[in-house]
Chains A and B, each alone.
Chain A
């Protein structure tokens, strides 16, 4: 094909500028070829299910030796969900990696010359990360649950169908809320423009309340830690199964999470538009 032959064809349609769907398709064409995105997506799903199955095996093998008080606490809904650690980290990394590599190698300048309306680029990445981690989060949640139940049944432990209200709420809300930390990671990526800082930032936000929250005085747990996205999300996912001073009413928890997401994305858009690329 000669350049001259296609030249005329191109100029005929030159008047129509790209729209949001073009930006979305371009971002998808770009991100889906990145190995960091593929690996974090695959590992988040596979490792979370493997971890749940493995922990199930350990529980099955040792259950008979547990003290009666601990045996009474066995929960066939909660216990298979331990693998969530892997999916939370994997998908959060995916969110950061949808942004920062471009800043590392300067590709972002090409992105913003092709799409000078930078908010479109941010929103396209938001949609792609949301879609990927929603699908991946659902796969991970159901995978963990089924793997756990399968292992428990072979060990003659109590199991629970996923179709009970309690189980369905936990499994579905894990999937639905999975995009939260990836999106916060994406925003931190846009703000720090650095892979190391982005991953560190999102993991601190993810784990700090888990690790340091319980060490704080009760008032702080109830009024400060509870406003962080992790505890707010957990009150939606397992608020009906577990008690914690950091949990809110599930509806309030959902609102807190939504506020974090809206704030983080709005801040990203504002900064990306204002700063030099």
Chain B
């Protein structure tokens, strides 16, 4: 498990990370979302003990990273795929890392095979494509077979086949009970990969919840109802607490689920021609969140007043920049 409490990082005048608090749980893929420059990489570097926090703390399995006795066996990270010496072969690269972390050298061919680089093991990494570098970075993270894994933008530079491979790998790693924390600025990618997302903007927490919870709060999540008795049924639905929008003669209903709407129609003897739930894309939800995140936070179970306050402050700052 990864835990971040009040984490803050200031670079001169800029506040790169501002009082960030969240937990990353094992067993699921957790997405770390935010626009470029929102502080994702800085946060990950602080978790890995590379950058010193200005305030707050980050722990992995309850310990400061720098205090782990065998860090590579506990945490694996891909922070920057291009950070490889171009003169070294893929195998030489993995060998020195394995040695530094006291990982069995037998893991080197194993992870090379796992990421599909076994055929280029003795080629210099200077000639690798960005996609191959990403695979090598993932292999490096997996060397010590750690229970906690962190990947910073792992699908950058990968072709569609590679993206699908990463997606499946992340899900598989999570299903083995590992903590998997993946950053991305691509909402659609996270939607297909992560169960839970942590959204930050300008270094502050904007949202922390399951994708389902996040998208449910969006105005873009609704049940589309088509019925010949639209006016009559709209009145019924509003009485039951539904919020209605009309579009091309259809009713777009929020705050009521499709089963409830179906039951209501049956009870009143109203014929339905269409009853289809529509879930908002994460992307739509994200843009709304940056306007509407206090409302969202109040729906989330377990959100402390502090979180809401932080979120409100983040909101104000987001508004300012617009």
> Contact residues of A with B, CB < 8 Å?
1-3, 5-7, 9-11, 13-19, 22-23, 25-27, 29-30, 33-35, 101-102, 105-107, 109-117, 274, 276-277
Contact = CB atoms under 8 A, between A and B. Distances in A.
30 contacts: A1-B106, A1-B109, A3-B113, A3-B142, A6-B106, A10-B73, A10-B103, A10-B144, A13-B104, A14-B73, A14-B144, A17-B69, A18-B70, A26-B99, A26-B100, A27-B100, A29-B99, A33-B92, A34-B85, A106-B82, A109-B80, A110-B79, A112-B50, A113-B48, A114-B71, A114-B97, A116-B66, A116-B67, A117-B66, A274-B52
Contacts of B82: 105-106
A276 to B, nearest CB: 4
Contacts of B104: 6, 9-10, 13
Contacts of B49: 112-113, 116
Dominant secondary structure of chain A at its interface with chain B? helix
A114 B96 CA distance: 10
A29 B97 CA distance: 9
A27 B101 CA distance: 11
B53 to A, nearest CB: 10
Contact of A106 (B80, B92, B97): B80
Contacts of A276: 45, 50-52
Interface string B256-300: 000000000000000000000000000000000000000000000
A29 to B, nearest CB: 4
Contacts of A106: 80, 82-83
A29 B102 contact: no
A22 B95 CA distance: 12
B114 interface: yes
Interface residues of B, number: 48
Given A6-B110, A113-B48, A276-B51, A34 B87 contact: yes
A229 B86 CA distance: 35
Contacts of A111: 100
B77 interface: yes
Given A105-B85, A116-B66, A2 B110 contact: yes
A6 B145 CA distance: 10
A35 B87 contact: yes
Contact of A26 (B79, B85, B97): B97
Nearest to A106: B83
Nearest to B49: A116
B291 to A, nearest CB: 34
A144 B103 CA distance: 44
Contact of A3 (B70, B79, B110): B110
Nearest to A275: B52
B87 A33 contact: yes
B315 interface: no
A102 B82 CA distance: 12
